[in-house]
Amino acid sequence: MDSLKKNIVRFGLTLLILCVAMWWVFSKIDIRQLGEAFLRADYTIVVLTIPVVLASHFLRAWRWRTLLRPVQPAPSLWNLYSAVMVGYAANNIIPRSGEFLRPFVYSKRTGLPLTTTVASVVVERFIDVLNLLLFIAIAMYFVGNDLSAVMPDIETATRSAALLAAILLVVIVFITFTNIGEWAVRRMIAPAAPAAAEKVIRGLATFKKGLSIVSTPSEYIRLIGESCLIWLFYIIPMYMMLHAMILNKAYVFTFFDASLLLLVMAVGTTLAPTPGAIGVVHYLVPVVMMQLYQVPKEDGLAYVALTHGVNFLSVTITGGLFMLRENVRPHIGNGTPAPEPNTDASAVSA
């Protein structure tokens, strides 16, 4: 009963945040003009963005395979893609839950220790944060004053990303290149609880194994190339959507503009407390488009609604199908989706 009450409260708060966010977005919008903006869209282009969106997540699974290759000689790309899509779908239901579910799903299916898989995700997140900081630096160099004027929260996002990058770097370096963790456990935990200390030490060892890519410089160029491809495939749908909408005819939208709008969405997603960043990105993107490109707020909202909606729905539906494959169900008890026990031995090699 206590668990049910907690989840009712959690669901109620999420629903309240979503309602407030959507009211905030639509409070100063002309609904008729918004509808006309949707009607003007070229839905052939909109549909064509779907395979590009799914391909971008496939490339993320490809890069994850590179991160795991030092500890798993032939990681299954299909299993990795399945775990990636399950994680993204979970994020669209409960913010950040997919970050924990994704490595759990992959470890469950392959038998790779969870701590090893989690470590590979830590490295992946470090790479993502560095990419985000690089994008912010480029944007601030070209349109810093305009961007800061319409989006002051970008400075907060930059500081948060830099702090996260520093923390992840410290964790990665200390665990990969030192034995401080094991030394601390033996000094502080082992005297009082030797059995627990041994479990922690084994966990640190398998976690360190998952960081093996850090001490494999020969793979760095490959990771850089794969990261660039991921961001390229994130930008392409944004660019396609700019040409699917009839926006400001006096302005010719470029690939750089699409990259800038992707950055705005990435910052909004980082700051958003809502599932799928709903509401937050729908507010930020139209404001930026209005200030930088003189696009009416209704047209900007239609653009971000279609761009975000295609990604949200394609990821949620595809991830939902992979949840069936992985026997994952929403678990009310702790608020995150949890895999069902899998008794099928053949699933490990699927």
Q: What is the pLDDT of residues 250-283, one digit of tens each?
A: 678 899 999 999 999 988 887 777 777 788 888 8
Q: How many beta carbons lie within 10 A of that of residue 34, not counting itself?
A: 19
pLDDT of 347: 33
Rounded Cα gap, residues 245 and 232, in angstroms: 20
Residues 6+ apart with CB under 8 A from 96: none
CA-closest candidate to residue 244, choices 101, 46, 107: 46
Positive or negative: CA dihedral 236, 267, 19, 2 = positive
- CA trace torsion 285, 291, 295, 300 (10° rounding): 10
Q: Which parts of the chain have pLDDT scores under 50?
A: 1, 332-350
Does residue 339 sit in helix, strand or coil? strand
Give CA angle at 307 (303, 311), nearest 5°. Answer: 165
The pLDDT assigned to 23 comes to 75
Q: Dig out the tokens for 140 from the structure.
A: 């601030």
Domain boundaries, the chain: 30-334
pLDDT at position 336 is 45
Q: Which residues pair with 329 in a beta bridge?
A: 338
User: Which residues, 6 or more positions from 79, have their beta carbon under 8 angstroms from its beta carbon?
Assistant: 106, 109, 110, 350
Residue type at 117? T
Beta pairing partners, 339 = 328
Nearest to 108 by CA among 331, 335, 337, 327: 327
Residues 278-297: tens digit of each pLDDT: 888 888 899 899 888 889 98
